[in-house]
Amino acid sequence: MRRKIKPPAWQHVAAARRSLIESKIPPEWRVPEELLKRKNLVDLPRTCGIMTEEELSITESSAVEIVSAIQANKISAVDTTRAFCKRAAIAHQATNCLAEIHFEEALLRAGELDEYMRVHGKPKGMLHGLPVSVKEHIKMKNTTATAGLIAWASEVSDEDALIVRTFREQGAIFYVKTTNPQTLMAIETDSNLFGRTLNPHNTNLTCGGSTGGEGALLAMRGSVLGIGTDIGGSIRVPSAFNGVYGFKPSIGRMPHSGLSGLSDGMQNIIGVIGPLALSLEDIELFCVAALKNDPWKYEPALLDIPWKREVDIPKKLKVGIMWSDGVVQPHPPITRALKQVVAELQNQGHTIIDWNPQLHHSIYDVTNEAYFLDGGAEYHQTLKDGNEPPVPIVKWLLDEKGKHHYTIEESWRVNRDLEKLRTMYALQWNNHDVDAIICPANPSVASVHDESRYWGYTSVWNALDYPAVIFPVSRVERTDIWKNFPPLAAPFCPMDAWSRDLYTDSEGPLRYEGAPISLQIVGRRFQGESVLRITKHVVDILSHKAPETSQD
């Protein structure tokens, strides 16, 4: 009888993976240990002395500016790639944000692209020479896509995801893959395989999830454009927690094939691919490039809708403000940011109405049912296959949400409930005819580790399939206390009470010190271009720039 070979302990698998990542960082790019002891490490690339002034200048430019400079032969793809490899290495040492490092391959590719420009006198595509970072579970040929699972640690992808292939064809350079949490189903980034990823604004706080490594990397400008995914807030929460821009499009707008993950094939709630970036112009660059090569010819689920670069919005907007979703009320910093945005919009003559969140609790509850129709069985089995325990946030998730295995008939009921609520929400929108809704992205700014337990401010928009953009507004201040920004009501539920207790007047501002405050703008289904344009209008108002001309 053949003896069954016992798989290696998960600790050995994790140690080997982390050692491999560390081995890819050159000794001359190592940050002295004493510089890594501060809470706020955002400026580390500029202060550690590893990067040249030219490299700092390149990495502190936007993606649009970098592409333009390379095409004008002002900078080379090799120099650009080396600068971002350096900065990503520094960011990883500060936050543990990288899952795979491919610096050598990226520099070789950059050299090929420089040679292409020299020979042909034109760029290979609209992303020629731009380093782009990729969330770990998005497949990239000859790399792993583990979804943070020990059981999948050695599975190597034999082809690119469609979005990766499309960007390669447009001249993008892939140099790192970034961390995501165990199972992906968490809005903070922790796994046995990669460890915990930190928030560079305050390392006591989470970077969010599940595209958390991207959020941390972009916050430190180790990337200016990242590819993420979102099925419940996985682009938007890290964007909000790290103070960068993020965009969740509607289903069918961006290429989505070629991902690893549990619940593969689930149609009740469908995830999307989208960008994290440092400017709204870079988000638009991502969207245009993603659709440049007619991806709907290769992924039948995609809609044949090219990205519209020119869209009109009203000169005077009508905006719904959702102060709370009626489930978990926001902490004082979030309320202050909402009040600031409302005041600025009203000063410019825009119409503001209070948005009634009457349907949000029901949508949140049904959405959570849809996520775990098998009662978490696949999650438990895959963890068992890897001989690994769930990390704390995933254990809480499975204990709390994965309690019931639904029959086929029960899953039909979930779908019916979702469709009914979608119709009711559309009618509410029609009745008020707003151009957009502005709301929190989370009740809190970046959470303390293992305290990210509520995703209703983001997952509802996945269930409704409405496009949403995250934009930064401010940072936590000492005056952000309940006394100055009181809740709307007594706690709505135990989760609301628990969340409120996390932020006390005596300790709250210090506990979340340095954390960015971001908000979310939501639009009608498939109107991503309009949502981006409205967000740019709002951001221009907040920065006291003259907004672009819109329609009457």
Q: What is the DSSP letter of 461?
A: H
Q: How far apart are CA 103 and CA 106, in angstroms?
A: 5
Annotated active-site residue 135? The verdict is yes
Q: For the stretch 390-403, what's the b/e string if a residue is b when 16 or more beta carbons lie within 10 angstroms of its beta carbon?
A: bbebbebbbeebbe
Task: Report whether 62 belongs to an annotated binding site.
Answer: no
Task: Report whether 231 belongs to an annotated binding site.
Answer: yes
Annotated active-site residue 444? The verdict is no
Task: Report whether 228 belongs to an annotated binding site.
Answer: no
Q: Strands 173-178 and 195-196, how do they pair?
A: unpaired
Within 13 A of 456's CA, how many CA atoms are on the CB side? Answer: 23
Task: Report whether 130 belongs to an annotated binding site.
Answer: no
SS3 of the chain: helix, strand, coil, percent, to 5 = 40, 15, 45
The token pair that represents 486 in the structure block: 């009181």
Task: Report whether 223 belongs to an annotated binding site.
Answer: no
The token pair that represents 347 in the structure block: 């000063």
Q: Which of 135, 139, 177, 248 is catalytic?
A: 135
The token pair that represents 484 in the structure block: 């100055």
Annotated active-site residue 234? The verdict is yes
Q: Which helix (H) or strand (E) holds 339?
A: helix 332-347
Q: Which of 191, 210, 263, 447 is catalytic?
A: 210
Spacing of C-alpha 115 from chain mean position: 34
Task: Report whether 393 belongs to an annotated binding site.
Answer: no
Q: Which of 234, 260, 459, 518 is catalytic?
A: 234
Q: CA nearest 436: which of 330, 547, 326, 525?
A: 525
Which whole-number Å values give the CA distances from 454 to 129, 165, 250, 500, in the listed order? Answer: 39, 34, 22, 12
Contacts of 112 (CB under 8 A, 6+ apart): none
CB 105 within 8 A of CB 26: no
Cβ neighbours, 10 Å, residue 506: 8
Annotated binding site for substrate: 184, 210, 231-234
Annotated binding site: 184, 210, 231-234
Question: Catalytic amino acids?
Answer: 135, 210, 234
